[in-house]
Amino acid sequence: MTSSPAYLKFYFGKVIAMLQNRSFNSCLPTNVRFGLDVVKNELAHEIRLANKSRVFIATDEGLVKAGLIKTITANLIENEIESVIFSEVEPNPQVETIMRGAAQYTQKSCDMILAIGGGSAMDFAKAVGVAVTHSGHILDYRRGEKPITHPIPLLFAIPTTVGTGSEVTAVAIVTDPEVGRKYAVSSPYLIPKIAFIDPLMTVTLPKHHVSATALDALVHAIEAYTVVRAAPISDGLALQAIRMIREYLPASYSHPDNLEARAQIQLASTMAGMAFSLVGLGLVHSCSHPMSAVYHVPHGVANAILLPYVIQHNLISNIKKYADIARIFQPELVLKNDQTAADELVGLLESFIASVDIPKDFSYLGIEVTDKVIDRLANDAMADGTIPSNPRKVYKEDVVKIYNQVLPR
């Protein structure tokens, strides 16, 4: 039977319309170097190859005391590379700390930036890069209020945690303590040129940091897989990251010397970062940022606590994708239909999160929860830049409901 011209025109019209609706851009510009001792073997060479000689190191006091920074700078000295260490980076880097770092970068005539640490060190390094190459205060560039118009200094990143993914993203999160708010500073110019993913950099990481940061990476992957802009490339990265975290986090948490498990978790974090850098994040982050800004809850802990509650809200938006995730955590669900599998996901995640000793809610903070507190948090969450990407449309009353669940009175 021969198809009629009218039918073919209709058919190809539908195909073209579908492809237009599924169009996307994908660019992953960071050069990722992964492996044991990759920092020792390749960092100095890459700095010299870039013709740089005075490195501004953004880090925290804990890594200095642990001796990790001394080990890295000794390798730089052997290669005739000078360094200036700024170790005042605090969790959730504050805007005035960033401006102090920028002043030191300029005063010491540095010519590149090396971020060593977790997400805070990398966010700080990106923000310093903006401050030393653009006029005004770093807050001028929050949420795109003032555009970042040209490149920041050359930026390399060495993550020492197994979460955040900031080593491959275009975003820095900065905190203004005067108003208790966290803001995003974002531009493709902020993406690190090279990320050195070396499991040996994480061996001294305390176990509670392992669980918090790895679950942060899990949230990144789950949100990237389910947001409205999700695309085939980000889906592949996100799903594989979820599989790796599900398989290797328990071993990495229980046995710090298990380098294979630690390596897999660290790599999964970078892959999750790649995924969300392409398509964005959702409501978990919208609700998490105010908890960190106001109550100083570690970002990974806040994300992990909020994840099951947000998924319960979002579940109706994409049963198929949430079923895919559930089947990673319980393979036997492959025998069940999508709705049945998806309905199991919240409970599976609650059990997984509890297994690495993350609280089920924020009651451990011992704070006084009032309607005024909830309203303030909800307003801040609704103003967060991640709301538009969430797979289900979000109204303030939805956020209020979630906060009432995680901040029991």
* Structural domain that includes position 103: 31-202
How many CB atoms neighbour CB 173 within 10 A? Answer: 26
Cβ contact 280:386 at 8 Å: yes
State whether residue 392 is helix, strand or coil. coil
**341-371: pLDDT as tens digits:** 999 999 999 999 999 999 999 999 999 999 9
- pLDDT, position 84: 98
**266-283: pLDDT as tens digits:** 999 999 999 999 999 999
- 400 and 295 co-located in one domain: yes
**Whose CA is closest to 114, among 62, 61, 161, 153?**
153
Specify the pTM: 0.91
**Whose CA is closest to 158, among 197, 189, 214?**
197
**Residue spans of alpha helices (H) in 255-282:** 259-279
Residue 368 lies in a domain: yes
**70-114: pLDDT as tens digits:** 999 999 999 999 999 999 999 999 999 999 999 999 999 999 999
- 300 and 319 co-located in one domain: yes
Cβ contact 169:191 at 8 Å: yes
pLDDT of 239 over the 90 cut: yes
- 217 and 182 co-located in one domain: no
- pLDDT, position 18: 44
Cα separations in angstroms, 260 against 263, 293, 303, 329: 5, 34, 25, 20
Position 35 confidence tier, pLDDT thresholds 50, 70, 90: very high
- 124 and 213 co-located in one domain: no
Domain boundary among the residues 185, 202, 219 is at 202
Number of domain units in the chain: 2
- 194 and 211 co-located in one domain: no
- pLDDT, position 3: 55
**Whose CA is closest to 200, among 62, 37, 65, 32?**
37
pLDDT of 15 over the 50 cut: no
- 50 and 157 co-located in one domain: yes
pLDDT of 264 over the 80 cut: yes
Q: What is the mean pLDDT of the chain?
A: 93
CATH number at residue 35: 3.40.50.1970
- 219 and 327 co-located in one domain: yes
Cα separations in angstroms, 228 against 20, 217, 322, 393: 15, 19, 13, 10
- 124 and 265 co-located in one domain: no
